[in-house]
Structure 1
Amino acid sequence: MNGPTGLGTSAARLRPPGASAAAGGRTGALPVPPLHCPDVLRDDPALGAEVNDRLVDWAEEVGIHAGRLDSLRVTDFGRLMMLAHPGTDDPDLLLAIGRCTVAAWTADDYYCDDRGAGAVPELAAARMAIAATVLDPASFPAAYAPDLRRAIRSDPVLVALRSAREHLGRYATPTQVARACREQLSMFQAASAEAVWRCTGRTPSVWEYLVNRQMGSQAPILALVDAGECYRLPTRAYTDPQVRRAFLKAALASALVNDLYSMARENAGPDQDFNLPVVIAAEDGCTLAEALARSAAVHDELMRDFEASAASLSRLGPPELARFLAGVHAWLAGNRAWHAGSARYATTPAY
């Protein structure tokens, strides 16, 4: 596929005349609508800068973003960690969670989204399958295990994923690490499905897109909220169906924030990406401005449902659950604030 097809082509046609890439809180020439989201609880630029510097150093060490470390630096994942995890001021702990975040974003860029970084949609599913063995190590026959080890050592993305998982284990319990890895495996599955849409030039329906976006949300990082504050949410509480429904609404809402703020970056190049506004516009035959408003309404519905569920569950569940749900709420605030200010989603894309 050498040019925009399917959904990407529709997105290009839907962009208003004269629209450019997004700046901060804008999508092309259109502002991101106001979103129902709490304010951040903490803004400590110095802490964010320290974590960010250490994340860039780690990226150089494992070999990701080679030749583009300046772009990684201005993306400022350290600031995301500082804003989204106000319950700790420990840079080592924020670095551990930050490594997981950067590794996940890098896998998506390198395998699915960014051809300049080597992404090949036709190979995405196969690459994600190998990446899954890093998070859930395969029990291989002795004759073939060396081949897998060599494959992992030769791919910086896989090195980063393994490094992040191992480093997280210094601060999180085995249960917390396994929980985050399981959520990450769902994200890999969602990325593989999206790659199929790209390869076939097929635009998903809105409901189908939301199913996949639910799996490809920020759930792997949200799952670490308790690890980020050095306590443990009981497994029984995390897997309770009512808690799970509330958690997934929050995770999907966080993903839709990414959809809204990343539109210009993702629709600016030859490889158009999928996001809720362009899928709504294609299905409903409405303008992009109307689709943005409808997408914001979907986000707000999810947020209000999460807040109502969290309030009820916090009264009925163990103290750790109330703390966890409050931490998820704070994470959502930090996620939205970071998206509004990161150079990754600025007028001139960082990369």
Structure 2
Amino acid sequence: MTDRQAETSWPRLDCPPPRRDDPALARRLDARVLEWADRIGLYHGNLEQVRAAGFGRLAALCYPGTDDEDLLMVPARCALAIWAVDDHYCDNPDLGAEPTLLGSRLATASAVLGKVGLPERHETEFAAATRDDPALQGLRSAVGHLRGITTPAQLDRARHTLRSLFAALAQEGTWRATRYRPQVWEYLVNRQANSFLPCMTVIDALGGYRLPAELWAHSQVHDAVGTAALAACIANDIYSADVEEHAADADFNLQQAIITQHGCTRQEALRMSADLHNELMHRFHRHCQQLASMGSSELRRFLDGVLDWCAGSLAWHRTAPRYHRQSHRSAPDDKDRT
């Protein structure tokens, strides 16, 4: 361990512990995710990355409203498909990532989320051109399973947030290609879309109820869910700080944006990141209190599910080898559920 790593002092994050942490359930789901990834061809046979990440455990932690393993496999597949697009297209040259192709690939990824209304001859060409891409096959398969448990409105909201995510990944790719270092506000705007919102959109579908479309579209509901999603992304940046510090594209995390703008130390940037996370979580709780006056039981369940998702995601990040260079390092403390 380097001196710099040894001196890391993790900041406290205001988030509850997960409502369910069931290792046996997580192991069963992880095994099924691994089988699915192998069948699709994700990670070109290098399934150790999938095994180590534990996307089945992520689903078990984040959706405590159901014990149905078939249901939990739906968001587990979706999460892996999203991460695979990021790895195959944006981050990992060994998996085929190529900066000059990023925008084109992400546009095609957006197209495979739904039926493309092309003339018949060109539909055939499109299908042939996208058949052998494992990232696209992962998306197709994951969205197909999602279609089986959602209403058209629920599926549409998931597709919309996925397309926004791909647009944000393209923006980050432009920054990387031009060596542009974003200001903190620019980075956070990007992270509003480059976030866990697609995972959160399926909370009601997993819970067996439906958040009415007019409530999902309500500005304050959107603010509440987006606030929580951004907080979860800041937690992601904090937990991946060591890994990304040693990566080739280390400028693209919140800590690096803060260091660039404020000229502070890495430790100060971590604490400022935690302060932003905690500010957002407090804002989310205020939104929930205000939205309670709407008297919607579905909305109350959905917002409780958002908090469960943040708690589960945080617990997953604390232990997922994907985000830790050395597994024996201590993780940040988290406050108890209130």
Give the TM bin, normalised by the shorter chain.
over 0.9
* Correspondence 1:63 to 2:48: no
* Correspondence 1:242 to 2:227: no
For residue 53 of structure 1, what is the aligned residue in structure 2? Answer: 31
SS in 1 for 2:203: coil
Deviations 1:107-143 (A, max 9, x none): 0111111122111122111100000001133211233
Bigger RCO (CA 8 Å, 6+ sep): 1
Counterpart CA distance in 2 for 1:257 and 1:49 is 24
Deviations 1:60-103 (A, max 9, x none): 01110123112211111111111111111111001011111110
Deviations 1:268-290 (A, max 9, x none): 23343511111001100111111
For residue 5 of structure 1, what is the aligned residue in structure 2? Answer: none
Q: Quick check: 247-256 or 173-182, which moved more?
A: 173-182
Gaps of 5+ in 1: 1-15, 21-27
Which of 103, 127, 131 matches 2:109?
131
* Correspondence 1:19 to 2:1: no
The answer to whether the Cα contact below 8 Å between 2:38 and 2:45 also exists between their aligned partners in 1 is: no
For residue 310 of structure 1, what is the aligned residue in structure 2? Answer: 288
Counterpart CA distance in 2 for 1:19 and 1:130 is 42
Identity, in percent, stands at: 42
Counterpart CA distance in 1 for 2:208 and 2:115 is 26
Gaps of 5+ in 2: 328-338
SS in 1 for 2:43: coil
* Correspondence 1:254 to 2:232: yes
* Correspondence 1:193 to 2:168: no
* Correspondence 1:88 to 2:66: yes
Give how far 1:174 is off.
Answer: 2.0
Which of 60, 80, 98 matches 1:102?
80
Counterpart CA distance in 1 for 2:251 and 2:59 is 25
Give how far 1:215 is off.
Answer: 0.9
One-letter identity of the residue aligned with 1:148: F
For residue 183 of structure 2, what is the aligned residue in structure 1? Answer: 205
Which of 3, 8, 15 matches 1:37?
15
Task: State the TM-score, normalized to the length of structure 2.
Answer: 0.93
SS in 1 for 2:71: helix
Q: For residues 281 and 239 of structure 1, do their structure 2 counterparts lie closer, same or farther at Cα, with a shift above 3 Å needed?
A: same
For residue 222 of structure 1, what is the aligned residue in structure 2? Answer: 200
Give how far 1:348 is off.
Answer: 4.8
SS in 2 for 1:119: coil
* Correspondence 1:297 to 2:272: no
For residue 180 of structure 1, what is the aligned residue in structure 2? Answer: 158
Query: Aligned Cα RMSD in Å?
Result: 1.6
Counterpart CA distance in 2 for 1:290 and 1:267 is 15
For residue 274 of structure 1, what is the aligned residue in structure 2? Answer: 252
The answer to whether the Cα contact below 8 Å between 1:218 and 1:254 also exists between their aligned partners in 2 is: yes
Give how far 1:17 is off.
Answer: 6.7
Give how far 1:262 is off.
Answer: 1.2
Counterpart CA distance in 1 for 2:30 and 2:226 is 28
